[in-house]
Amino acid sequence: MRTTGLLTLSLLALLTGCAGTVSTQAPTTPTEPDPVTYQPGELNRESVFELLAAEIAGQRHQFDQALEFYLHQARTTGDADVAERATRIAQFLRDSDAVLQAAELWSRAAPDNPEPLHIRTNILISEQRFDEALPLLKQVLADDNTEAVLLIGSKSAELPPQTAAVYEQLLAEYSRAEPERLDLLLTRALLKRRIGDQDGALELLEQGLAVEPAQSELVLQKAEILRRRGQANEALKAVEAALDETPDHKQLRIQRAQLLFDLNKPKSATEEIRALLEEHPDDSQLQYYFALLLLDNNRLPQSHGLILDLLEGNPDNDTLQFYLGLIEEKMGDTQSALQRYLQVSNGPNLQQARARALNLMDDPELKDEVDSLIDRAIEETPDQRIDLTLMHAEWLQAHGYTQPALQRINAALDANPDHVGLLYSRALLIEPSDPQQMLSDLERALTLEPDNGMLLNALGYSLTLYTKDYQRAHTLISEALEQHPEDAAVLDSMGWVLFKLGRTNEALDFLNRAYERFADPEVAAHLVEVLWVDGQTERARSVLRDTLAQNPDAEQLHEVQSRLGIDL
């Protein structure tokens, strides 16, 4: 049925009301109103009342109430116009769950109308609900819906690889029927890249470029694949060829600047950047992108100037303050950098800014200033109290204030006894004075996170130092090694526990691999000891000599030299 227009409904209601007021009939005894019955496809008086109430709520900007009324009536009446109205209000409110509900009702009421199906599909893809979107997408693709295809492409990097493969196979079916359809080829190429099939992606891009040689999105994707493969020259040729057709294309020129840097042509790259910025003087996003590109390529003064210009128009932008601090630190102006970092009070770079500020305050005499900085930061961002406490404790320990660091961690643990990071931090702090408490903290932390590779390794290695339970230590370290097979610390732990178990040849294999990856004094000390015990005394001396040259004050190296009586 067709729903009566709301204006007509309003007029009818008013007329009915007026008729009641001018009636000349004698009053009758009031009677109970007839019970409301609902017939599908009809508007009864309850529906009329609720729809009018919804419109009045909308006029009063009570849109949530209007939506509630319309959704209820969409379910009750099964009317397509009512469901569409509910959908539009939900879209206006950006209430995606309500949009999905209303659009589904709309689809049921008007199964031949593709719009509600497209709306639902787009929302599910936008919200990364890819598995839910898949069956709807199959219907949408039958309508040659370009918007949904391009939306998949824009979300391709967020798709789980297995889901991306399913989507790519689905789109491939439609590509076979329309082999020159560029939106399908581009999106399939992006999905191929997501699953790691760069060759397949490049083949699809070439197929599209054969249809339209200068299509910018295809060229940009091809150039990026070639660039990541180290084929910057070939990438630049592709970009230049496209620019011959569209010389003012901004994204292609941005890509050209990036490639010129990759090809070690900084002068040409900066000239391109300067020209683009002159042509787009009000494009702050372009200015910001180039500032970071220049920073990445160590063009510090130019990057600094661009960010300063941006800061003039955005004086409260903490991200800009952070990058200025980073640049000034790289330029050697540590005092200015420190002040920049301290001005960062929110945003994604807040923790890193504080960490870098602490790193610049590399002087034990600055303890009071550091304490004040952390206390103020906790007051400003109490939700980050634990992270700030851990950061503070690390600084205190590094500068010889072990006891104050321990006090801070203990106070935090009193309030958060099951926090793994605090337990691990206290274990490291307390190890020299109370190894049993250290082992207890690590055991507790591992109970809370039994699959944590860092904890498995830490407890396993600690057992080799303070107990004779080498078999359990080996089991724990083996589990850690499964998670981190190339980690130098875990390789070192495995080598050391194998040595303790008397498996010297196997131990040397792991210790040599650890030393190759990270020639740390502790790793070197282990390798020296096992080489010496194995009779490889000249190699032991060589490793000891080389590592001492780089770390002349390393206690571990001097201890093993003295204990084993190694003369250099």
Q: Average the pLDDT over 521-525 and give the result.
A: 96
Tokens coding 400: 């010889």
Q: Is the pLDDT of residue 5 over 90?
A: no
Q: How confident is the model at residue 106 (pLDDT cuts 50, 70, 90)?
A: confident
The helices-and-strands tally (H runs, E runs) of the chain is: 32, 0
CA 220 – CA 206 distance, rounded (Å): 12
Q: Give whichever of 24-33, 164-173, 407-416 has the largest mean pLDDT.
A: 407-416
Range of weakest confidence among 102-111, 397-406, 467-476, 545-554: 102-111
Q: Is the pLDDT of residue 445 over 80?
A: yes
Q: Is the pLDDT of residue 252 over 60?
A: yes
Range of weakest confidence among 27-31, 428-432, 525-529, 546-550: 27-31
- Mapping DSSP to helix (H, G, I), strand (E, B) and coil, where does residue 206 land? helix
Question: What letter does residue 180 receive in the DSSP assignment?
Answer: T
Average per-residue pLDDT for the chain: 87
pLDDT of residue 479: 97
Q: 224-280 has which CATH code?
A: 1.25.40
Q: Is the pLDDT of residue 285 over 60?
A: yes
Q: 282-360 has which CATH code?
A: 1.25.40.10
Q: How far is CA 451 from the centre of its chain?
A: 23
Q: Is the pLDDT of residue 380 over 50?
A: yes
pLDDT of residue 44: 64
Q: Is the pLDDT of residue 132 over 70?
A: yes
The answer to whether the beta carbons of residues 4 and 41 sit under 8 Å apart is no
Q: Average the pLDDT over 443-448 and give the result.
A: 97
The answer to whether the beta carbons of residues 259 and 239 sit under 8 Å apart is yes
Q: What is the per-residue pLDDT across 188-203, written as a single tens digit (0 to 9) for each?
A: 999 999 999 999 999 9
Question: Who has greater pLDDT, 483 or 99?
Answer: 483
Q: Is the pLDDT of residue 29 over 50?
A: no
Q: Is the pLDDT of residue 276 over 90?
A: yes
Question: What letter does residue 365 receive in the DSSP assignment?
Answer: G
pLDDT of residue 72: 83
Q: Average the pLDDT over 287-313 and give the result.
A: 95
Q: Average the pLDDT over 253-262 and give the result.
A: 95
Q: What is the per-residue pLDDT across 327-367, written as a single tens digit (0 to 9) for each?
A: 999 999 999 999 999 899 888 898 899 999 999 999 999 99
Q: Average the pLDDT over 231-237 and give the result.
A: 95
Range of weakest confidence among 10-19, 127-136, 333-342, 390-399: 10-19
In the chain, residues under CATH classification 1.25.40.10 are 282-360
Residues in Cβ contact with 457 at an 8 Å cutoff, skipping those fewer than 6 apart: 476, 477, 480, 484, 487, 489, 490, 493
User: CA distances (Å), 519 to each of 191, 257, 434, 514, in order?
Assistant: 41, 39, 28, 8
Q: Is the pLDDT of residue 66 over 50?
A: yes
pLDDT of residue 144: 66
pLDDT of residue 68: 84
